[in-house]
Amino acid sequence: MQGKPTVLITGASSGIGATYASRFAQRGHNLVLVARNKAKLDDLASSFRQKNGIDVDIIQADLTRLEDLETVETRLQEDHAIGILVNNAGTGLSGSFLQQSLDDITQLVMLNSTAVVRLARAIAPRLVEKGDGAIINVGSVVGLAPEFAQTVYGATKAFVLFLSQGLSAELLPKGVYVQAVLPAATRTEIWERLGADLSLLPPLMEVDELVDAALVGFDRKEAVTIPPLQDISQWDAYEAARVAMIPGFANNHPAQRYVETPGNS
């Protein structure tokens, strides 16, 4: 098992994070598991040590608290065995934008966006120096669909996608692979925490299927992995249309449709 990088996973006590932990444990990677629930982390760590013969450390941390976030940052900066970061911790909010409290919105942005960029920033310089390593950022298809009426949550996930694509452009030439994973509705504990009625939700993907698909994308070094999307040509067309607009952004005069002419104002 020597030579395999240690994997640090946030939100590792359940759902997607716990499944990532299980899969990387099966691959023989040592783990650092981060979450708020110490009891669950202890149980997982004990199980992985016994079943997979790996080393597992745990960090009890609430990534919406600055001091806890700094603890994880320090571990990423100083532990040279860690070569893969799985930025998975995240949450959602029930209700519409006008119903959500400012405090809840602030906490959501802190966990879903601020913690993601800070942890990536903590590990990236060391990975670049080594010329190897990976950052996996778990986003959501909601970040592509404002029509889903999950305004702030979707905005945080759009941030994760943009961050991942930007980091990929910067870091891949320096040997560091960055993957954005965009799940759709997945069967995790988040729905219970939000008080959602499962009967009103679309069909949910099982978390094992999601993570296994995401790891296929990881092994293929995909920049963006969207497990539920059957027709990848749709994503390719989306990206092609986006890239095709870029030359137009360099124009130093407004588009003609914004130029008023006499009698047409």
Q: Catalytic positions, please?
A: 153
Q: In Å, how far are 51, 133, 199, 218, 261 from 56, measured between CA atoms?
A: 12, 19, 37, 22, 69
In angstroms, the CA 20 to CA 113 distance is 20
Q: Judging by beta carbons within 10 Å of its beta carbon (0-12, 13-18, 19+), is residue 68 exposed, middle or buried?
A: middle
**183 neighbors 138 (Cβ within 8 angstroms):** yes
Name the percent of the chain in helix, strand, coil, to the closest 5: 55, 15, 30
